[in-house]
Amino acid sequence: MTLLTPDQLEAQLRQIGAERYHNRHPFHRKLHDGKLDKAQVQAWALNRYYYQARIPAKDATLLARLPTAELRREWRRRIEDHDGTEPGTGGVARWLMLTDGLGLDRDYVESLDGLLPATRFSVDAYVNFVRDQSILAAIASSLTELFSPTIISERVSGMLRHYDFVSEKTLAYFTPRLTQAPRDSDFALAYVREKARTPEQQKEVLGALEFKCSVLWTMLDALDYAYVEGHIPPGAFVP
Amino acid sequence: MTLLTPDQLEAQLRQIGAERYHNRHPFHRKLHDGKLDKAQVQAWALNRYYYQARIPAKDATLLARLPTAELRREWRRRIEDHDGTEPGTGGVARWLMLTDGLGLDRDYVESLDGLLPATRFSVDAYVNFVRDQSILAAIASSLTELFSPTIISERVSGMLRHYDFVSEKTLAYFTPRLTQAPRDSDFALAYVREKARTPEQQKEVLGALEFKCSVLWTMLDALDYAYVEGHIPPGAFVP
């Protein structure tokens, strides 16, 4: 192992995104290209809800481990973004506007009863990673946000073009993410560029991003297998 | 919710097995019926290795929580079954005889480098379940062993009949399981029949078995999607 410069480390992180971020997944291509029916988009939104709903838990788990007020203030903002400042605001509430708009019963969505087990296991793996790994790895695992503005733009424009059952209003979740994600990933990227000072730490950072890409990818594998290939596992949402 | 008699509880547990145990999964049918090629059987054995390798950790996690020597002696035997009494003995070592026999490099298998992320997340979910849920639920989650003698008989006879790359020697893992699993599930079944004395506890027991079935099912979903449908995720074993 050799020590990378910060620029080399960043280049390797961006390479991981280019190869492993879930915009390359066949299910995402189908979602954006209008190849899914409403039931399949419902299944995606229902399962992705669990990811959204657990992000504040993931961030609070890390917040509890951060050693300084400066770091905690930075990380606390992420929880504010997701949970909002009053009822009906924040990313989780905006995701429920999407599931509402798709005709899913809100109590059913929030019950989590119809989740694919793979969704639950993948998202829980992310929360546990942030609890169990180093703070450096936990922060690095958020770096998928480096790549999210591109996928969000593709997703919103593609879905609006192809699906008459979504609207700008129901896709309101995504608009604030276009500014929040770059702000958050700027911080996380600067942090890992500065703090990953040994080959071992740099390997840890790269591994954390690969891990996080695998969380997002596995969620789409399960959706594609269940709702496109038609193998819905026992107990999961049946459209 | 109504209180079930122990016999009614057992009947509901057996019903869950009839509906959700992984012998009903399409990948398992293909495995037993000789529909897979050697590379696909390798992928199954490689991924299933992680399950085998983590079972002692799962059992030790529960062992650490059990309150009496009597319970701990019972549970300790499971670790002995899997880890053996000397090098080369026990279930984990016998599983490696299978991966050896299939031509997989042992260092590669043990490195876990080629695992499907879904395998890792599913198995880890099982270990975490046993750590985080009640002792009653943790013991109940082992009850898939009620159904394993049937699947093992089908698997061994089907694989020996259809695949010239397996032998009785490489399938040696399964023979002791035919006596160990019923002994273990007899204990766990008697335990939950006696200890689940409220509707809430009975619901917990039933939910634990459903959870465990979903762990095994999700592992096969991922294998089928990756190695039969041909969507191998980034970083996983490529035959």
Axis-axis angle for helices B69-83, B91-101 (nearest 10): 20
With a cut of 90, say whether residue A233 has pLDDT above it: yes
- Going by C-alpha positions, the residue among A200, A184, A81 that lies closest to residue A139 is A184
- Going by C-alpha positions, the residue among B115, B121, B123 that lies closest to residue B226 is B115
| CATH number belonging to domain A6-228 | 1.20.910.10
- pLDDT tens for each residue of A203-216: 999 999 999 999 99
A210 to chain B, closest Cα gap in Å? 9
Interface contact B233-A214, CB threshold 8 A: yes
With a cut of 80, say whether residue B103 has pLDDT above it: yes
Average pLDDT of span A75-104: 95
- pLDDT tens for each residue of A138-191: 999 999 999 998 888 888 999 999 999 999 999 999 888 889 989 999 999 999
User: Counting one residue from A and one from B, how many pairs have CB atoms under 8 Å apart?
Assistant: 89
Contacts A19 to B, Cβ<8 Å: 234
Collapsed DSSP state (helix, strand, coil) of residue B239: coil
**Which residue is closest to B216 within chain A, CA to CA?**
A117
Interface contact A224-B222, CB threshold 8 A: no
Interface contact A218-B233, CB threshold 8 A: yes
Q: Which of A19, A116, A231 sits opposite B234 (nearest CB)?
A: A19
Average pLDDT of span B191-215: 98
Interface contact B233-A215, CB threshold 8 A: no
- pLDDT tens for each residue of A36-62: 999 999 999 999 999 999 999 999 999
Per-residue pLDDT, B49: 98
Per-residue pLDDT, B1: 77
Whether the CB-CB separation of B208 and B130 falls below 8 Å is answered with no
- pLDDT tens for each residue of B159-174: 999 999 999 999 999 8
With a cut of 80, say whether residue A2 has pLDDT above it: yes
Range list of β-strands (E), B76-173: none
Tell me what the pLDDT averaged over chain B comes to: 96
**Residue from B121, B131, B147 whose CB has the most chain A CBs within 10 Å, to mutate:** B121
Domain assignments of chain A as residue spans, ordered by start: 6-228
Task: Return residues 118-137 of B near A (CB < 8 Å).
Answer: 118, 120-122, 124-125, 128
**Which residue is closest to A117 within chain B, CA to CA?**
B214
Contact of A229 with chain B, judged by CB distance below 8 Å, is answered with yes
Interface contact A235-B210, CB threshold 8 A: yes
Q: What is the DSSP string of chain A?
A: --PPPHHHHHHHHHHHHHHHSGGGSHHHHHHHTT-S-HHHHHHHHHHHHHHHHHHHHHHHHHHTT--SHHHHHHHHHHHHHHH-SSTT-SHHHHHHHHHHHTT--HHHHHHTTT--HHHHHHHHHHHHHHHHS-HHHHHHGGGGGGTHHHHHHHHHHHHHHH-TT--TTTTTTHHHHHHHHHHHHHHHHHHHHHH--SHHHHHHHHHHHHHHHHHHHHHHHHHIIIIIS--PPTTS---
Interface contact B229-A225, CB threshold 8 A: yes
With a cut of 90, say whether residue B63 has pLDDT above it: yes
Is the confidence metric ipTM above 0.85 for this complex? yes
Sequence-separated contacts (24+) of A99-104 with Cβ below 8 Å: A99/A42, A99/A45, A99/A46, A99/A49, A100/A170, A101/A165, A101/A166, A101/A167, A101/A169, A101/A170, A102/A38, A102/A41, A102/A42, A102/A45, A102/A165, A102/A166, A102/A170, A103/A38, A103/A42, A103/A165, A104/A42, A104/A45, A104/A46
Contact of A20 with chain B, judged by CB distance below 8 Å, is answered with yes
What share of chain A has pLDDT > 90, as a percent? 92
- Going by C-alpha positions, the residue among B101, B43, B104, B48 that lies closest to residue B236 is B43
Contacts A26 to B, Cβ<8 Å: 231
Interface contact A234-B217, CB threshold 8 A: yes
pLDDT band at A34 (very low <50, low <70, confident <90, very high): very high
Residue A11 CB: number of other CB atoms within 10 A? 11
With a cut of 90, say whether residue B33 has pLDDT above it: yes
